[in-house]
Amino acid sequence: MPYTKPLTKIGREEERRQKRTLIFREAVGGRLAALRMQKKDIAELTGLAESTIRRWLNEDVGIMNVDALAKFMQALQIPRETIIEMLEVK
């Protein structure tokens, strides 16, 4: 088996960020499909800008504040367990 260098601190943090974002994208994508909603519909329900929602989905969910996450979760009816799983990524 070839030798691979262990991840640096920055590499581990990047890996955690990617895992959180992946869990979030899967949950949101599933709910959007199930509810037949688009990003503009979520923006109307939450009172957030569509560009903000797009940024969260495409870049990093870590920049989302707790209040916005709660609005988002409620609008899409995302199960609490999914959000807890996303936040507990270590």
Buried b (16+ CB within 10 A) or exposed e, 19-44: ebbebbeebbeebbeeeebebebbbe
Q: Digits of tens for pLDDT over the chain (90 positions)?
A: 666 667 788 888 888 878 878 888 888 888 888 888 888 888 888 888 888 888 877 776 667 777 877 787 888 888 878 777 777 766
pLDDT of residue 66: 76
Count Cβ atoms below 10 Å from residue 64 Cβ, excluding itself.
19
pTM here?
A: 0.66
pLDDT of residue 64: 75
Q: How far is CA 40 from the centre of its chain?
A: 17
